[in-house]
Amino acid sequence: MSNTDRYDSESDSWARIGPMPGGARSQHSAVRYQNAIVVCGGLDAEDHLPLDSVLLYHPSREEWENRRPMRTSRADHAMLAWRNKVLVCGGWNEGGVEGNRVLVDTVEVYDVQKDEWVIETRVPTPR
């Protein structure tokens, strides 16, 4: 399913919005950044492979925008907005022998204004 819906807390109602570019996905993360929503990673609905893609949704214009991809594809990861940046941590991707799941040990920081990613640090015990 590639439908995308938006919730309005004032009217307690849902409304359909335009589909996310790239088609359906699951196990992605999203966070509010200023007046937009950043969506990244997850699994492609067709081949179930982890994604590195990043999308920015502008509710006021009801438009999606493709942004620079993360340095590491990942699914089931955490995201948070902090000090005018977006942090992405953890999750998993497919690597190693036979495409087994590998836990991601990097924390990436996204500067939305510059559309740039940097690896901030590595976690000692990936989860």
Chain segment 42-79, per-residue pLDDT in tens:
999 888 899 999 999 999 999 999 999 999 999 999 99
Domains identified in the chain and CATH numbers: 4-122 (2.120.10.80)
* pLDDT per position as a tens digit, 7-53: 889 999 999 988 889 888 999 999 999 999 999 999 998 888 999 99
Residues whose CB falls within 8 Å of the CB of residue 92, separated by 6 or more in sequence, listed in order = 50, 74, 75, 76, 101, 102, 103, 104
Looking from the CA of 87 toward its CB, the CA atoms found within 13 Å total 11
Whole-number pLDDT of residue 96: 64
For the entire predicted model, the pTM comes to: 0.90
Looking at residue 6, its pLDDT comes to 85
Evaluate whether 90 touches 127 at the Cβ level (below 8 Å): yes
pLDDT at 2 over 80: no
Residue 116 has pLDDT above 80, yes or no: yes
Output the pLDDT for position 118. 97
